[in-house]
């Protein structure tokens, strides 16, 4: 595969054999930008757990102090006062049976976050096969099944992200845009890693954070020293 000149030049900035401190990694994530658009910076953390076991799951949500840089389209399943509160908080779509019918009938998925009041979960459960594989199914653990839907909407707009293990025991999360600059990216990184470390299962043995890589959308992977991550 042949890479463009800008990508080749950006690779030269990164020493593949080095484990960088967080501040150095964030600086490189900004410097290795090559695209004309504002690239997203992502973190990939491999954990020393086995996601096949229920007592070694790592999942939760955290509000990034500087947001994600992305405008989130928020769908809320609610009725009555809860629906009104969701609308007032700025949810993009609010409804119940009508939204279920639209998703099922039209394969409509023009939203990024799904929130539901607890009384709606019997209804939302019908969408498990559609929302589940896309990571959109509301859950109490992520704070997206809650009686306080207005608070959940506000948090989502403020930059709340969900982190969860994939089948290879890796967590993939965005921590902002290149335009944030290294300092704000590091603040978001520290907040995310702090939440992941706090969520360490009691059943996890040995080294918890095995590896950590940071990269912008079009740039090379930058290895972060896991021993400096708590």
What pLDDT digit, counting tens, does each position of 176-214 carry? 999 999 999 999 999 999 999 999 999 888 899 999 999
Closest CA to 194 of 62, 70, 80: 62
Q: Looking at residues 148-163, what average pLDDT do you find? A: 94
What span, in angstroms and rounded, lies between the C-alpha atoms of 109 and 73?
A: 10
Give the 3-state secondary structure of residue 215.
Answer: strand
Flag whether pLDDT at 6 surpasses 80. no
Residue the block writes with tokens 């896309």: 134
Q: What is the predicted pLDDT for the residue at 35?
A: 86
- Band of pLDDT at residue 40, cut at 50, 70 and 90: very high
Band (pLDDT 50/70/90 cuts) for residue 3 is low
Q: What is the pTM of this model?
A: 0.83
Pairing of strands 113-116, 74-77: parallel
Element (H, E) at 81: helix 80-89
pLDDT above 60: residue 4: yes
Query: Above 60 in pLDDT, residue 1?
Result: no
In the beta sheet, which residues pair with residue 60?
163
How confident is residue 230, by pLDDT bands cut at 50, 70 and 90?
Answer: low
Q: What is the mean pLDDT of residues 155-171?
A: 92
Structure tokens at 140: 């109490």
* pLDDT confidence band for 2 (50 / 70 / 90): low
Query: Rounded mean pLDDT of the chain?
Result: 92
Tens-digit pLDDT profile for residues 16-38: 999 999 999 999 999 999 889 99
Q: Where are the beta strands (DSSP E) in the chain?
A: 40-47, 59-63, 74-77, 93-95, 113-116, 160-164, 170-177, 209-216, 222-224
CB atoms within 10 A of CB 75: 24
CB crowding 150-171: b at 16 or more within 10 Å, else e: bebbbbbbebbbbbbbeeebbb
Confidence (pLDDT) at 34: 87
> What integer is the mean pLDDT of 51-68?
92
Pinpoint the alpha helices (H) of 91-218: 97-106, 121-124, 128-131, 149-158, 182-198
């Amino acid at each position: 595969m042949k890479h463009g000149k800008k990508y080749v030049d950006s690779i030269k900035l990164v020493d593949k054999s080095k484990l960088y401190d967080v501040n150095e990694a964030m600086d490189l994530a900004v410097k290795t930008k090559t695209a004309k658009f504002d690239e997203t910076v992502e973190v990939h953390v491999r954990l020393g757990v086995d996601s096949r076991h229920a007592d070694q799951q790592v999942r939760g949500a955290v509000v990034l102090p500087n947001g994600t840089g992305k405008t989130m389209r928020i769908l809320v399943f609610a009725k009555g006062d809860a629906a009104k509160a969701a609308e007032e908080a700025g949810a993009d779509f609010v409804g119940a049976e009508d939204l279920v019918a639209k998703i099922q009938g039209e394969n409509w998925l023009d939203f990024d976050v799904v929130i539901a009041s607890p009384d709606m979960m019997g209804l939302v459960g019908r969408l498990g096969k559609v929302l589940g594989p896309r990571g959109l199914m509301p859950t109490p653990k992520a704070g997206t099944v809650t009686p306080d839907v207005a608070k959940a909407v506000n948090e989502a707009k403020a930059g709340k992200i969900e982190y969860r293990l994939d089948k290879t025991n890796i967590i993939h999360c965005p921590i902002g845009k290149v335009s944030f600059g290294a300092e704000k990216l590091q603040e978001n990184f520290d907040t995310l890693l702090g939440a992941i470390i706090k969520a360490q299962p009691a059943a996890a043995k040995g080294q918890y954070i095995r590896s950590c890589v940071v990269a912008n959308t079009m740039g090379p992977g930058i290895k972060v020293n896991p021993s400096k991550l708590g």
